[in-house]
Amino acid sequence: MKIELNRTAFAEALSLAASVVPARTPKPILRCVQLTAEKSAVTISATDLEVGINCIVSEVSVIKEGKAVVPADMLSAIVRESSDDVLLLEANEGKCEIKGTDSHFNILGQEANQYPQVPHFDGEADLEIQLSAIQAAIKQSLFATAKESTRYALSGVLWEVKGKKMSLVATDGRRLARVRANLNSAASEKISSSKLIVPAKTMALVERMGAEEKEIVAVKIIDNQIVMRCANVVISSNLVEGNFPKYEDIIPKDYDVKIVLQTEATLSAVRRASLLTSEESRGIRVSIEKGKITFSGKAPEAGDAIIKMAIDYSGGSVEIGFNPQFIIDALRVLDEQEFEMELGGPDRPGLIKSGSKFMYVLMPINLG
């Protein structure tokens, strides 16, 4: 294989592909990316055996077709640190040479025919959605997935597909985010009314895609695998096995208090109140009464914080404790300047709504 590549375009694709490469693995070949030069493009492939990616780079000149498997960290570092606009890459029998104006690197790689096959996208899509729409939905849901959980299903995002609508739902058992998005056309019968759990790592990859916002993401389900294509990128992933919680049961159906708050002002107030909280509780108190809402934090050995905001409210008073980080996480992904907050008693979940598409449930905590 021998190619001349545009360093900037190659570096962008390589960065996305390399994010799939596992940091630790007993299989050295998985710490590599596969480069496939065919006709007038190079495909960069990476996989951890659960998630795979193919990034096609067309800003290249293919002098000789072929394949090479190269350590991802070394290749990324060389391409990133180079000051050349164009690099020459030549690979043969497990060795890879990279030449610049004043540089010459030799990298030892792996046998190309030993690299696992990474799926491509073939056939008709089961659903199509605009890239900007799914990225916005991921932004407003992915943060609520479980980072560490014995319940594997909570480490993914639930896709509920019905007709021309799709909902993304994520929860870690203590808070839950649901975002609705419109599809470009009705989904196929194969996945309409279905529920799929897509790994958080896969969703983060889609969010990182750098294609134009108007690009379309085509999605295909093959057995227990999802394959997504957008522009020059194809992402494939195993679906998460397991049962997602029946989240509808925890969404509050009624409330004692309903108020409208300014997003930025509330975010600032919660952040400031959380500056003085103890490691034991990490909670703030939210107190609502006629005409005002108060956010307060208390750390026995440090002091306390009280932040007040005027609101349009004339009902009864309510006091409830929340993890401030859970509120912050939700408010900083909102696009609207205002949001609704619905509260019940101190032992009932709170509800945040923004527009017609975003809903967020957060469980209260006992402040003692």
Q: How many CB atoms lie within 10 A of CB 34?
A: 25
Task: Give 78-104 pLDDT, tens digit per residue.
Answer: 999 999 999 999 999 889 999 999 999
DSSP run (H or E) holding 81: helix 72-81
Residue-level pLDDT at 201? 94
Residue-level pLDDT at 149? 61
In this prediction the pTM is 0.92
Residue-level pLDDT at 193? 75
Which residues, in sequence order, are CB contacts of 188 under 8 Å at separation 6+?
A: 124, 125, 126, 127
Q: Which residue has the higher pLDDT, 281 or 11?
A: 11
CA 263 to each of CA 236, 260, 336: distance values in angstroms, whole numbers, following the listed order: 36, 9, 7
Q: Which of 208, 109, 202, 193 is CA-nearest to residue 155? A: 202
- pLDDT higher than threshold 70 for residue 324: yes
Task: Give 131-178 pLDDT, tens digit per residue.
Answer: 999 999 999 999 999 887 667 788 899 999 998 999 999 999 999 999
Residue-level pLDDT at 65? 97
Q: Look at phi and psi of residue 64 and say left if phi exceeds 0, alpha if psi is from -120 to 50, else beta.
A: beta
Reported as a pLDDT band with limits 50, 70 and 90, residue 281 is low
Kindly report which listed range (139-143, 248-252, 289-293) carries the lowest average pLDDT score: 248-252
Reported as a pLDDT band with limits 50, 70 and 90, residue 280 is confident
Residue 174 and residue 323 in contact, taking contact as beta carbons nearer than 8 Å = yes
Residue-level pLDDT at 16? 96
Q: In the chain, what are the domains?
A: 2-114 (3.10.150.10), 127-247 (3.10.150.10), 251-362 (3.10.150.10)
